[in-house]
């Protein structure tokens, strides 16, 4: 018993939700049933009342017409020229035939009439369409026509005393050959209303003739239909029910002054009663329908429906329980796993609350992980930009496309802004940068990184045309006006994207001069008119010459450029900050080239890493790096072309495989088992063109052919070897001076 209780406690959450699901399933069904059957019963009763009202109205119309026709028969006899009161005093056969012919017209032409007799007190005879009967024989028991419960003498006495219409309720009448019917007898004096009528018309109407016009409805009717006279005496009835003679029924009728309906009990049976009152004739039509008979089919349907609902509910509950067991299994597994791994979760906690707490914990951990990923992504992007502006990315590797992988868009031109907060309050700088970076568009883009030397931040602007960055200048001066002149900004020269390092170094020089001059907030490098700056520009020319010599493996030119750089460091530049900047630029150039030969050295980014700068020590370091690089170049120079195929084969391969997005200088070097530098030098020596430029030109040639078709531009980009349309658009504009879309419009217009 205890083990069962413990199991129930452990499964309390399961049981709770199982019961709730079952209630959710059952309650709507029960509500529908409790609403449906009472409403259906009301509707059926209402429809029954309407139906009974229509039925009684039809019976009234029919009976009124037929009763009026009976009165018309009496009037026709009275007004007939052939039949007068004298005929009854003259006992000739001719007179008898005249009367018989008139009665034949009445009985023979109206199916409502079963028998018609004309009585004359003057001669004591009853005339019919078949002959005459003496009053002594008429209605006598055993004769061919008589009433079972109405004696012959009573008939004669009533007829002789009649001066107004008399209607006898339905009673049993014996016809010839032993046949019998239930019939209503109409006794009409002629003339009607006279105190001394000369004859009396006696018409017998079979009871069922009152309903003959609606035989089908009458037979299928579930209740009783009664026609009563002005004294509420039943004249015609469908069924001879016991309640017709009770005081309850009589008092019930007296309560109806007009037409209406009600539901009541008579002799313990519930009836729906409809009443219709008529003035001519003064009849009351009553319909009594047992409620049980009316709802019999509904009750059968109700029982069948309840049984079916019970089966459906039982099956549904079984399915719910089965589904709960299956669907709850993972929850039990998770719960078991949670409780086995951690003791901090309470075992008596609701299962879903327990899982919710764990999910919340996982969500928090996931948010932290996402933040770390985003932070790492930002760090990686910033690292690329640092390498980019320090000149540590090889131009031959297509760093414009490489930048796309970091979400960085590089245009043809670049300019660097170096920022420095005089009061060291960098928060005001960040607020301004947020607004400035909102100006990024397809024409220009700005990227902000943390400063590496004396600057606080570096803004890198990349664009195709100088007019595209005017908005940044406007925002820059707006930011200065909002910071009360506490910001110093140095702006470098506009350079090709390959010379981003130069643009960065010159922005630092401009910033240095802006810091020295108190009344200057923004200083462009071009505005500095100092001899040292001329030496700095000469240095960049030497660096450019050195890069070209290294690329060509020209040791003689390398030595010449190196000597010029050493001389400039020793004698040409006096400012320590600029000396450090020049040294770092040259140092990082050698490190970048040595990495191609597998020599792993670290770059220098921060001037502050060199606390005690010594010129001779710097020269010695550069000479060591130069010697190491020269040895690597010399070792590979002799074997540079060894093992490489004829240049025509390489060009043919490029023509056949230009659509491969993985096709690159590194790919071709690996394919021919040589180094990146060797293959680059071999290709440049034989084609007088860089590998990336040559491949790009092939791709653009094929792209221009496809642009003359209806192929979408993004699909053309994939076909000619670009991973996305942005890279393709920039390359196309670089080669053709226009975008693919503009090229297509121009040539479409020429067509």
Task: Determine if the peptide bond prior to 281 is cis (ω within 30°).
Answer: yes
The answer on pLDDT for 235 being more than 70 is: yes
Rounded Cα distance between 96 and 99, Å, is: 5
**Bigger pLDDT: 364 vs 533:** 364
Which domains are assigned to the chain? 80-205 (3.30.450.20), 213-294 (3.30.450.20), 383-630 (no CATH), 647-750 (1.10.10.60)
The answer on pLDDT for 184 being more than 90 is: yes
Evaluate whether 286 touches 249 at the Cβ level (below 8 Å). Answer: no
- Beta bridge partners, 331, equal none
CA angle 334, 336, 340 (to 5 degrees): 115
Range of lowest pLDDT (22-36, 43-57, 142-156, 245-259): 22-36
pLDDT at residue 716 in the model: 92
Report which listed range, 268-282, 284-298, 422-436, is most confident.
268-282
The answer on pLDDT for 616 being more than 90 is: no
Q: Which residue has the tokens 């990686």?
A: 380
What confidence category does residue 91 fall into, taking pLDDT thresholds of 50, 70 and 90? Answer: low
The answer on pLDDT for 260 being more than 50 is: yes
Range of lowest pLDDT (2-11, 521-530, 650-659): 2-11
Range of lowest pLDDT (125-134, 383-392, 531-540): 531-540
Which residue pairs from 21-28 have beta carbons closer than 8 angstroms and sit at least 24 positions apart in sequence?
21/320, 21/324, 22/317, 22/320, 22/321, 25/313, 25/316, 25/317, 25/320, 26/313, 26/317
Residues 558-612: tens digit of each pLDDT:
888 888 888 888 876 667 777 777 778 888 888 878 877 777 777 776 655 556 6
Among the residues of 596-739, which ranges form H helices?
615-637, 647-657, 665-671, 676-687, 691-707, 713-719, 725-736
Q: What is the mean pLDDT of residues 91-102?
A: 76
pLDDT at residue 2 in the model: 47
pLDDT at residue 625 in the model: 85
Rounded Cα distance between 19 and 585, Å, is: 77
The answer on pLDDT for 486 being more than 80 is: no
Q: What is the mean pLDDT of residues 230-245?
A: 84
Number of neighbouring beta carbons within 10 Å of residue 535? 17
What confidence category does residue 391 fall into, taking pLDDT thresholds of 50, 70 and 90? Answer: confident
The answer on pLDDT for 373 being more than 60 is: no
**Bigger pLDDT: 432 vs 381:** 381
What confidence category does residue 643 fall into, taking pLDDT thresholds of 50, 70 and 90? Answer: low
Among the residues of 638-690, which ranges form H helices?
647-657, 665-671, 676-687
Residues 552-562: tens digit of each pLDDT:
777 888 888 88
Rounded Cα distance between 64 and 107, Å, is: 18
Rounded Cα distance between 327 and 316, Å, is: 16
Range of lowest pLDDT (198-202, 231-235, 572-576, 738-742): 572-576
The answer on pLDDT for 112 being more than 80 is: yes
What confidence category does residue 169 fall into, taking pLDDT thresholds of 50, 70 and 90? Answer: very high
Rounded Cα distance between 403 and 381, Å, is: 9
Rounded Cα distance between 667 and 402, Å, is: 15
The answer on pLDDT for 253 being more than 90 is: no
Q: What is the mean pLDDT of residues 59-85?
A: 81
The answer on pLDDT for 277 being more than 50 is: yes
Rounded Cα distance between 467 and 210, Å, is: 109
Evaluate whether 734 touches 464 at the Cβ level (below 8 Å). Answer: no
The answer on pLDDT for 6 being more than 60 is: no
Q: What is the mean pLDDT of residues 290-318?
A: 78
pLDDT at residue 626 in the model: 84
Rounded Cα distance between 631 and 638, Å, is: 12
**Bigger pLDDT: 357 vs 127:** 127
- Beta bridge partners, 458, equal 418, 449
Q: Mean pLDDT over all residues of the chain?
A: 78
DSSP letter assigned to residue 497 = G
């Amino acid at each position: 018993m205890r083990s069962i209780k413990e199991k129930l406690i452990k499964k309390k959450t399961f049981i709770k939700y199982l019961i709730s699901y079952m209630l959710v399933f059952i309650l709507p069904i029960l509500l529908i049933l409790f609403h449906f059957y009472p409403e259906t019963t009301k509707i059926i009763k209402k429809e029954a009342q309407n139906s009974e009202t229509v039925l009684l109205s039809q019976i009234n119309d029919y009976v009124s017409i037929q009763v009026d026709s009976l009165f018309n028969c009496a009037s026709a006899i009275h007004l007939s020229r052939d039949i007068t009161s004298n005929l009854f005093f003259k006992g000739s056969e001719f007179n008898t035939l005249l009367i018989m012919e008139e009665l034949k017209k009445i009985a023979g032409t109206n199916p409502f009439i079963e028998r018609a007799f004309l009585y004359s007190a003057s001669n004591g005879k009853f005339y019919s369409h078949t002959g005459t009967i003496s009053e002594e024989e008429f209605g006598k028991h055993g004769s061919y026509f008589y009433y079972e419960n109405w004696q012959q003498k009573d008939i004669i006495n009533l007829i002789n005393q009649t001066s107004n219409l008399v209607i006898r309720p339905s009673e049993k009448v014996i016809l010839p050959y032993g046949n019998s019917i239930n019939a209503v007898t109409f006794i009409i004096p002629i003339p009607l209303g006279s105190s001394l009528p000369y004859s009396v018309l006696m018409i017998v109407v079979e009871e069922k003739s009152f309903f003959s016009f609606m035989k089908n409805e009458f037979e299928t009717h579930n209740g009783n239909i009664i026609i009563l006279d002005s004294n509420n005496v039943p004249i015609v009835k469908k069924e001879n029910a016991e309640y017709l003679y009770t005081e309850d029924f009589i008092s019930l009728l007296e309560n109806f002054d007009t037409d209406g309906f009600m539901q009541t009990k008579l002799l313990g049976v519930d009836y729906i009663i409809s009443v219709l009152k008529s003035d001519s004739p003064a009849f009351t039509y009553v319909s009594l329908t047992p409620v049980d008979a009316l709802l019999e089919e509904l009750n059968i349907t109700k029982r069948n429906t309840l049984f079916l609902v019970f089966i459906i509910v039982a099956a549904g509950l079984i399915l719910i329980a089965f589904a709960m067991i299956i669907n709850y299994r993972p929850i039990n597994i998770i719960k078991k796993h949670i409780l086995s791994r951690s003791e901090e979760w309470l075992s008596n906690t609701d299962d879903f609350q327990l899982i919710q707490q764990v999910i919340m914990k996982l969500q928090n951990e996931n948010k932290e992980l996402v933040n770390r990923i985003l932070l790492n992504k930002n760090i990686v992007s910033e690292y690329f930009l640092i390498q980019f502006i320090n000149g540590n990315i090889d131009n031959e590797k297509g760093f414009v496309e490489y930048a796309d992988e970091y979400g960085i868009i590089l245009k043809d031109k670049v300019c660097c802004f170096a920022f420095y907060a005089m009061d060291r309050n960098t928060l005001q700088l960040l607020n301004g940068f947020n607004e400035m970076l909102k100006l990024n568009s397809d024409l220009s883009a700005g990227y902000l990184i943390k400063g590496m030397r004396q600057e606080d931040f570096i803004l890198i602007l990349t664009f195709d045309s100088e007019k595209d960055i005017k908005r940044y200048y406007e925002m820059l001066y707006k930011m200065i006006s909002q910071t009360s002149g506490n910001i110093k900004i140095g702006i470098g020269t506009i350079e090709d994207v390959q010379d981003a390092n130069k643009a960065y170094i010159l922005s630092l020089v401009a910033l240095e001069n802006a810091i020295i001059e108190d009344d200057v907030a923004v200083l462009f490098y071009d505005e500095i008119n100092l001899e040292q700056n001329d030496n700095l520009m000469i240095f960049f020319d030497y660096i450019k010459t050195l890069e070209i010599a290294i690329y060509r493996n020209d040791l003689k030119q390398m030595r010449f450029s190196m000597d010029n750089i050493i001389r400039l460091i020793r004698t040409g530049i006096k400012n320590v900050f600029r000396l450090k900047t020049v040294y770092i630029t040259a140092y990082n150039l050698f490190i970048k080239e040595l990495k191609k030969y597998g020599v792993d050295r670290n770059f220098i980014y921060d001037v502050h890493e060199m606390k005690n700068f010594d010129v001779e020590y710097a020269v010695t370091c550069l000479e060591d790096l130069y010697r190491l690089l020269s040895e690597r170049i010399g070792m590979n120079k002799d074997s540079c072309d060894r093992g490489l195929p004829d240049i025509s084969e390489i060009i043919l391969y490029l023509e056949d495989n230009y659509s491969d997005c993985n096709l690159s200088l590194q790919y071709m070097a690996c394919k021919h088992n040589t180094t990146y530098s060797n293959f680059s030098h071999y290709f440049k020596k034989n084609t007088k063109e860089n590998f990336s430029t040559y491949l790009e030109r092939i791709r653009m040639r094929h792209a221009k052919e496809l642009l003359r078709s209806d192929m979408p531009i993004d699909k053309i980009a994939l076909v000619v070897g670009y991973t996305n349309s942005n890279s393709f658009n920039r390359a196309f504009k670089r080669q053709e001076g226009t975008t693919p879309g503009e090229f297509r419009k121009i040539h479409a217009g020429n067509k």
